[in-house]
Amino acid sequence: MTGLVSVLLGAALLFAGRRLFWLFVGALGFIVGIQLAGLIPQLSETTILVVGLVVGVVFSLLAVFLQKLAIGLAGFLAGGFILTTLFARLGVESLSNWVVYIIGGLIGIVLVLLLFDWALIIFSSMAGAALLLQSFSTQTPAGVLIFFLLALAGIIIQGGLLLRERRKSKAIR
């Protein structure tokens, strides 16, 4: 069941993460909730899924009502998730996962604050690609190539939509 949810969330983030900002933040909360609940031994898959859903809903509500805080939090979570996923796919295990997560998170905050729309497009595309890749357990070097191809497709599609919106709004003025 979590595989299907990951595929659906991954696809939504990959192609519409910027437009569905609240879903992007909620999906990251869902991922964090599942990862944290998975650390507790003897929890059933259903319980882990429920914890993930609850955390995801809380994060979605934060995104709607506390947008600035949610933007920074989303940048941190996305950056941490993406960097740890990439390190794991590349087989790099010399650093602590928490150190890698924090470094990725700090990079994510800076990027989101400086380049909001493009950072959302890039992070949501990469997070969507990472979710899709995790769903299919591709632990080979080809998995890294698939990740980058999926992320690139998401960036191109979302970037095209953003540019179209900006052209349209300039035409109206």
> Please, which pLDDT band fits residue 2 given cuts at 50, 70 and 90?
low
Per the structure, the complete domain to which residue 132 belongs is given by 2-172
Arithmetic mean of pLDDT, 17-21: 81
- Supply the pTM of this predicted model: 0.65
d(CA 102, CA 79): 8
pLDDT digits (tens, 9 = 90+) for 102-145: 999 999 998 888 888 888 899 889 988 988 887 776 566 777 88
> Please, which pLDDT band fits residue 1 given cuts at 50, 70 and 90?
very low
- Specify the number of domains making up the chain: 1
d(CA 141, CA 4): 24
**Best CA proximity match to 158, nearest among 125, 127, 113:** 125
